[in-house]
Structures are given as structure tokens and as C-alpha cells.
A and B are shown apart, each in its own frame.
Chain A
């Protein structure tokens, strides 16, 4: 389904709302991990990456400590590769720190079926053995297909399966908001 076949139904978050949610998540990450010693963030391509970088900045502003940020491409771990007519483009995974023994926070924009996170967990386990893996998402829209839940949620948004959540970030989309789209 292309975005051009969809029309905007409602705005869920504006730029201020997104910022507040992310700052809160930054505080929750610090609180739950009793500081940020040994904590590292891993953004799932694409929109999880700028979100992870923002979280790192907020954590740095609050705690005065820089946490490492990695980039994870989960294409090679998808469970639907054999059913796709064309293979999706693979991009580079860039995790330039050892994950073994780290408290990792996976960051993504939308949590939906849980399959992307499942793939990300497999990808991380191939890089090493973290002490703990937590999940931070800007939007949880429900409809899980596997038993996965987020530790940190910006906003829970009940949706129908026909709807699409579109997170738009300045770094990628040149605008800053979250909207619900529906089929025209």
C-alpha cells in the first residue's frame, strides 16, 4: 500500500507532543536502568535511527553522559523474504561497540505485529550476548502477532488493521508529526 493511495484521517502527535514523549522515554530509560552505565541504544532502520539519536541527546542533556548509538538493519532477518517477489534493499548494520554485557535499548517508530522486533532480536543475538534488551517505541498501535511488548511507549494508539500509522521525522521526511492514514 503506497502512501499516495491513502488519505490523512487524524493527527496523533505534533512536534511538541513527539518531543515530550521522547524526553519522557529518556527519563524512564535512565530511571529504570538506575543511570546509564553500560546502556547503549540501537535504532532500527529507518525511522528508529533518528529517534535513537534524539534519545541519546536527551539522555546526554539530562545525565551529562553520552550513550553509544548503533544502527540495525533487519532485512536479512525478516521472516517473509521467501514470499516477496523482489528482495528488499539491504542496508548496513553499524554497531561499533561490543553488545555483550550491555543494557541495550532497541528503538523503533511504530510497534505493530512485533515481527520487526523479533527480527531485530535475532540480529542482536548474532552480534553478541547483551545483559538485557529493552524496547522503546514512539507509537504502539497494537495487533501483535507474536508475544512482544514495549518497555517504553511514547503513545498507545488503538487502530484498525486497515489504517496506517505514519511517523514523519524532520531528518527523513522534512516534517515533524504522527498521523493516521486510511485507504481512499
Chain B
């Protein structure tokens, strides 16, 4: 099957076949990243704009490199240094980019649903690079690619997602994607950071972190945003680390060949110990490489010649 969507807004609406197509396409893309000359002429004459209303290192750089490796032209906009500061609306910014001939807009926005809103305003392809607490599809796809690369499959694996599930778009996208691909997803974290409806997405909630980690094949550690503590959602970073932090002792509860992933940037000593983060089970650096490969795959699939049929 081919790719028939105009945009990539989330994993909720993707089928298992579509997810597999992205992951399969990322395999040859990764081979290009390993070459001395990291460039193919595939997207020559295409252009991509990154429109970021929040800070980012990995995602933004990764998208820019992905586009450049495929010979697309890129332009980067930050809300802080653009007309957004003059009060320009998201729709008008999108229309402006579209009028300049941009083929793909990669958007990160603090409001859930922003990517979908923009996709409805402009004919250019829209890629959601994180919208509020809703979804971060490319992060989940690169997580799944990393897991599949190491384990050979996703079906039947036990994956524990640990941390602030309530505010995490990474967790949501991972749950949608992993469950569709046949993995068993467990979630654990402070009760104050656990949304009440999460089990309806197909994940199983564990109140005890140790129990959640028992025999899992993958531990996906979420970044704890330090301001959550200021909001009183958990008493202290130290307590968080003690109750939910992934350390060597907790790692021993997992399957013998379990892997640890983290979307980055890490808070060493809070959600993850340095010993684990830089240990042999950690694939955190590999995730970054795979992020470029997966985004190359997405850009390739989304920039088909004719306007793709299905709007979202």
C-alpha cells in the first residue's frame, strides 16, 4: 500500500499498515545517514518550513537535516522572532508560508489541535511536531523504529512508559502506535500525573513502578518537566526520583535484554540515573539518529507529486 494522506497529525488516525510503511521506509533512509555523502536528490525543488512556537533542539534540527539530506530547501521560523510577536494568527502565518510556495509545514505549538487546525487552513502538507498535550507522532514513530530495529518486531512486546503521562504527547502517540502494532503498553507515574481515561486508549495503568517494570522488554522514560513540581503535582524532585526514577535496581526488574529509551532532553538523576542513561541498555543516542531517518521517511511519503487524496 502507498501513503495517501496530505498531513501527519497523529498516530491515532493511522492504521498499522501506514505505521509499518513509515518504519519500512525509514530503513533505507538510515543507510543514507551512514554514508560519507549524506545526500540524495529525491526532494530537489521541494521546500519545508519549520514553525516552532516552543523551544526544541532535537526535533527541529532533525527535521531540517532530514529535509537537507533529501535535497529539499528549508526555512526555520520561531514564534519569538517572527510576526507572531506582532499578533499574527496561526492561520495567517500558515497562509503566508503557503503563499510563498512552501510544500511542507512542520509545526510545534503549545495548543493541542493546532496542527490539525493549520492543516485545514492550507493546501501544504502539515506535520505535527508536537501540539500541546495531544500528540507527537514523529517521536513515537522513531521510538517504535528504534525498538523494532533492536527487537526485530513490535508485536507481543511489553513496553512500560514511565512518568508524567498526563501532560505527555509522546506518551499518547506511543500508546496509539504501539497498541496498533500489537505491543502491550503499561503506564506508570505519580497519580497526580495520570489521566483518568488513559486505559480507554489501550494502556494498562500501574500504581507501583516496580510492578510495571516487571519483565518488560522496553522502558520508555518520559522527561519530567521541572515546572510540574512548582505546580505542586509532586512534592519534590528527590521524591520523584526515589519513587519513579529509573535506576540500576529498577532496571534489573525488566527482561534481561530490555532496552531503555527517552525522548530527551534528560534530567539526569531525576527520571533517569546517569548510570542507566549512559549504560549498555540505553538507546537514547541511537534514537536521535533514527529520528532523522524516520523524518526523512515522512517527508518522502508526504511530498508525493500530486495532491494526496485524503485530507487528514
Taking Cβ atoms with an 8 Å cutoff, the residues of A that contact B are: 73, 76-77, 80-94, 122-123, 126-128
Contacts and interface: CB of A to CB of B under 8 A. Distances in A.
A93 B27 CA distance: 10
Contacts of B4: 86
Contacts of B40: 76-77, 123, 126
Contacts of A86: 2-4, 304
A142 B198 CA distance: 61
B31 interface: yes
Among A76, A86, A90, A122, max chain B CB count under 10 A is at: A90
Nearest to B304: A87
A128 B46 CA distance: 26
A83 B305 contact: yes
Interface string B50-92: 0000000000000000000010000000000000000000000
Contact of A87 (B3, B27, B36, B37): B3
A92 B46 CA distance: 23
A122 B24 CA distance: 23
A102 B216 CA distance: 48
A82 B31 contact: no
A77 B36 CA distance: 17
Interface string B264-295: 00000000000000000000000000000000
Nearest to B70: A76
Main secondary structure of the interface of B (DSSP, over half): loop
Contacts of B70: 76
Contacts of A89: 2, 21, 24-25
A63 B41 CA distance: 38
B29 A90 contact: yes
B214 to A, nearest CB: 37
Given A82-B45, A86-B3, A87-B303, 7 more contacts: A85-B304, A87-B2, A87-B3, A90-B28, A90-B297, A92-B31, A93-B31
Interface in B10-34: 21, 24-25, 27-29, 31-32
15 contacts: A76-B32, A76-B42, A77-B42, A80-B305, A81-B304, A82-B46, A83-B306, A85-B305, A85-B308, A86-B2, A89-B21, A90-B28, A92-B31, A123-B40, A127-B35
B124 to A, nearest CB: 15
The 3 A-B pairs at the shortest CB distance, nearest first, are namely: A86-B2, A85-B306, A76-B40
Nearest to A126: B37
B3 A81 contact: no
Contacts of B2: 86-89
Contacts of A73: 28
A35 B28 CA distance: 33
A84 B28 contact: no
Contact of A93 (B28, B45, B46, B308): B28
A122 B42 CA distance: 11
